[in-house]
Chains A and B, each alone.
Chain A
Amino acid sequence: MSLLVQRRLTSGHVADLIAHAPQDVAQVSDDHRASLASRFRAVPPSEHRRLDAWMVEQAGRPPGPFAWSPATARRILGNNALRRLPSVPDTILNAVRDELADQLLRAARGYARPGSLGHWLAGVAHPVLGLITGEAVNWATQVLECAQGIDVEYRVASSDVYFDVAGARTTLRGRRDLIITTDTGRVVVRIRSGQPGKSAGPGLRSDLVVETLAHPDGLAPRRYLGLWPDAGLALGVDGTMENVRAGARDFVRAAVAQRRHGLVRAA
């Protein structure tokens, strides 16, 4: 049975969820990867397909067009700012400002392609930049608050995790914010706004399967934790083969639903 662990989001409970994560984790082989690829190939997309936990939670419904806003920019800026903090002891606000300055500099030098964060930042008004700074500080502070209860080594993830499914024109994306390294494996943390809904479990399993597939040795994390600070809740899925399989099945279902939506739209 696939289990979802739920606790209040307190430093004690988060530390407990990390310490008591199972040590026997799933390992996917090339055969598993080939099997998954064949299932995705059976659902051919009209164009390159990108799937993530959000699409699984939305039952394959295609997302609306993406647009940068203070809310969509805060996670990247906030996490990048946090990665600056250990090397340069400073306030979060200054770290966010440094990160913004770097992005703007990249845009000014012509390295930011249209549609990128840097390109968008270069075109927004000064007050909007202020609001973006505030949102990024909020995010970074929130992540830091969540991480303060963790008493083992952790790092802020430098990027999300991606896995290209061979020959299926499909990319899977897993979101992650903190990676906690223990002697017996890793625990991955994802921080989210709002409150967890009924599909929060499948969403976490989807992130778990991408994290596992993208690992060089195919090793699953000991536990994938989702933290919802707004609701004060922490949910976790263990890195068992059962959860990895369930996550992969959810992705294939989302691909089927997405294709069906596409065919309906075309008709």
Chain B
Amino acid sequence: MLTDPAPELLVEVLRGDRDQRPLRDDHSAAGLRATLEDHVFELFGPERRATPTVISSATLRGSGRVSELFDSPLGRARSILIPTVFRLLVAHVHVQDPYDDALAAWRGEHPRDELVELLSHFDHDQVARLRADVHAHYCTLVQGLGPIPSSWLPRTSQRARQLLGGGSVELRDVVDLVVGSTHGVVASVALVDITTSPLGAGAERALRYHALVQTLRTSVVPLRTVAFSSATGELWALDVDHEMLTRSVEDLVEALARKDAPQ
């Protein structure tokens, strides 16, 4: 299901009506893992590679493209600061100035990170532009997000790492927000990806990838996977089903074949 650009708050589409949710599916994960293992064996053979081929949501999001405006230093800085300020919002922290607060939080977490180094090389104009940019994205985020109830068990920057082919392939993923528990009778886990780029075909592949990796990690199929663009306010929500996960396996196999192909 794809919704039109931002007709409602993110929290409203996140979990929907409880009565409409499908039963918890904890059987599909094993089949998906077996299918993936078969594909990896076909591509990589029986030998375990010394260095694993790493796949992340960025690999799938950027399939085929060369470079974009968002790869600029300004875009990179923004793509770090917006998820950071999003984490503050989910923790119900009062944000006074999104740029200063996000930067202070990021510095506190990664004191020697390259972003801090990057910002020190920005001139006044670039800093002012970044500040205005972060403010604009923050406003879009606040308008589209809505308060996330603590009873939904929200966790931010949820990491996942899955090995395939005895360690020849490593799937890495970071989901900006995960809500819901895997222990309910009905599916209740929803995944949210906050992006500072407009949504496109790559974002849809990334949504499917998040759902697949979450399924492999927890062995339970999530309810829904959502992308929100802080650039445009667009909101895409996909209900996770077996067909969607199978498509994600195909995306992944294509990406692996591309990565494995001789340059």
Contact = CB atoms under 8 A, between A and B. Distances in A.
A125 interface: yes
A125 B88 CA distance: 13
Given A8-B219, A232-B218, A134 B156 contact: yes
Contact of B183 (A11, A70, A124): A11
Interface in A65-86: 69-71
A126 to B, nearest CB: 8
Contact of A127 (B90, B92, B105, B163): B105
Q: Is the interface of A mostly helix, strand, loop or mixed?
A: helix
Contacts of B219: 8-10, 232
A104 B104 CA distance: 19
Contacts of B75: none
A127 B90 CA distance: 13
A133 interface: yes
A57 B259 CA distance: 32
A83 to B, nearest CB: 18
Interface in A122-178: 124-131, 133-134, 137-138, 141-142, 144-145, 148-149
A145 B96 CA distance: 33
A130 B163 contact: no
B89 to A, nearest CB: 9
B161 A124 contact: no
A137 B91 contact: yes
Interface string B82-101: 00100110111101100011
A127 B103 CA distance: 9
A125 B104 contact: yes
Given A128-B104, A134-B88, A141 B155 contact: yes
A170 to B, nearest CB: 32
A144 B102 CA distance: 28
A93 B92 contact: yes
Given A130-B88, A194-B161, A195-B163, A92 B108 contact: no
Contact of B159 (A91, A125, A193): A193
A16 interface: no
Contact of B155 (A70, A131, A142, A148): A142
A137 B217 contact: no
Contacts of B84: 131
Contacts of B156: 134, 138
Interface string B160-187: 1111000000000000000001110000
Nearest to B157: A138
A148 B26 contact: no
A145 B189 CA distance: 12
In this complex, the interface size class of chain A, counting residues with CB under 8 Å from chain B, is 35 or more
Interface residues of B, number: 39
Contacts of B183: 11, 145, 148-149
A230 interface: yes
Contact of B105 (A128, A149, A231): A128
Contact of A134 (B87, B107, B153): B87
A134 B160 contact: no
B150 interface: yes
B10 interface: no
A125 B158 CA distance: 24
B108 A138 contact: no
B120 interface: no
B206 interface: no
Given A91-B150, A130-B88, A130-B91, A230 B217 contact: yes
A69 B161 contact: no
Nearest to A231: B161
B109 A69 contact: yes
Contacts of A231: 160-163, 217
Nearest 5 CB-CB pairs, A to B? A128-B108, A130-B93, A91-B150, A127-B105, A134-B91
20 contacts: A9-B219, A11-B183, A71-B109, A91-B151, A126-B104, A127-B95, A127-B102, A128-B109, A130-B91, A131-B105, A134-B87, A137-B154, A137-B155, A138-B156, A141-B153, A142-B155, A145-B181, A231-B163, A232-B160, A232-B162
Given A134-B88, A232-B218, 7 more contacts: A70-B109, A125-B104, A128-B105, A137-B91, A141-B155, A195-B161, A232-B217
